[in-house]
Amino acid sequence: MPPVAGIEAVAVQLRTDVAIGGQVQVRVTDTGSEPFTVTSVAIDSPGFAPLPDRAVTAAFTPGRTVDLPTPFGGAVCDTAAEPAAARLTVVRPDGRTEVLRVPLAAADLTRIHTDACAARAVLAVAGVTVTGLALEGEAVTGTLETTRGGGDGRAVTLTRLEGNVLYDVEADLPVTLAEGESSAEVGLTFTTARCDPHALAETKQPYLFVLGVQVDGEDEVTVDLPLDQAQRDTLFTLTESAC
C-alpha cells in the first residue's frame, strides 16, 4: 500500500478503549507542510468486518497529532489483520475533499485480532456459561459451566479465574472437561474486594473477569467470563449492600 504524502496513522489501544470495547484510537499525524481537516475515519483491515465511517471533526496543522476514537468490526479469523489502512475523509485548505487510504501501523490491531481469534477457537471446542448467580449474605454465588460445542472431543481445562479491583472471585480450578464428556461445572463465589470511593469511581471494567482456558495441553488462552446484564446487576447489588 503506497504511503500518503503528509499523513501518517497508527492504531493504538488505550486503557479507555479496552474499557469501552470494540474500538482503538487512530492516531493521525500531519507530517506535511499544510493544514487539513479530517471529517470521517474508519479502519480498513482484512482481519475485521468493515464498519461505516465515523464522523469526526479534527483540524491538523503541520506536526500536530490527534487521536481519533474508531470502532472496529468483528474479527475475521481466516485472514490476517495487516496490511491495514485508516480510511480518512480529508478536507484541504482550498475546500477540496479526498477520501484517502492511509497505511496504518497496526501492531495493536494484530494483537486484538490474535486474541479474539484464539478465544473464538477454544470456545468453539467448549463454551462457557455462568448460571444461578444469587446474593447470599456478603457474597454472590453461582456456577461456572463448560459445555462441549461440537464434534471436537478434546479435553478442555478451565485453568484459572482472576478477580478485579472491585471483586474477588473464587472457583475450585483447574477443572477439566475430559475427552468425550459433554459438560463440567464448578461453583463460583464473588466477594467485595474494595469499597473506597476512588476504586468505585475510577474502575473502568468492574465486570471483567479473566478466565484461562486450555485445550488438550495447548497454550492457555484467556477469555472474558460471560456475564449478562442481570448477572452484572446482581454483582452491583453486592457492592451496594457491602459498601
Domains of the chain with bracketed CATH: 7-105 (2.60.40), 124-242 (2.60.40.1230)
Instruction: Point out which residues pair with 144 in neighbouring strands.
Output: 130, 186
Instruction: Point out which residues pair with 115 in neighbouring strands.
Output: none
Nearest to 108 by CA among 203, 205, 51, 43: 43
pLDDT value at position 29?
Answer: 98
pLDDT value at position 176?
Answer: 95
Burial 137-170 (b: 16+ CB within 10 A, else e): eebbbbebbbebeeeeeebbbbeebeebbbbebe
- Using the structure block, give the residue that is written with the C-alpha cell 489501544: 13
pLDDT value at position 203?
Answer: 84
pLDDT value at position 138?
Answer: 93
pLDDT value at position 211?
Answer: 97
What is the end-to-end Cα distance of the chain in Å, rounded?
55
What single string gives the DSSP state of each residue in 97-142?
EEEEEEEEE-HHHHHHHHHHHHHHHHHHHEEEEEEEEEEETTEEEE
pLDDT value at position 154?
Answer: 94
What single string gives the DSSP state of each residue in 11-79?
EE--HHHHHH-SEEEEEEEE-SSS-EEEEEEEEE-TTB---PPEEEEEEE-TT-EEEEEEE---B-TTS
CA distance 38 to 124: 40
pLDDT value at position 151?
Answer: 83
Q: Are strands 7-12 and 97-105 parallel, antiparallel or unpaired?
A: parallel
Amino acid found at 25: Q
Q: What residues have CB less than 8 Å from 28, skipping those under 6 apart? A: 7, 8, 9, 38, 41, 58, 60, 65, 66, 67, 68, 86, 88, 102
Whole-structure pTM value: 0.86
Q: What is the pLDDT along the chain (243 residues), one digit of tens a residue?
A: 899 999 999 999 998 899 889 999 999 999 999 999 999 999 999 999 999 999 999 999 999 999 999 999 999 999 999 999 999 999 999 999 999 999 999 999 999 999 999 999 999 999 999 999 999 999 999 999 999 987 889 999 999 999 999 999 999 999 999 998 999 999 999 999 999 988 888 888 899 999 999 999 899 999 999 999 999 999 999 999 989
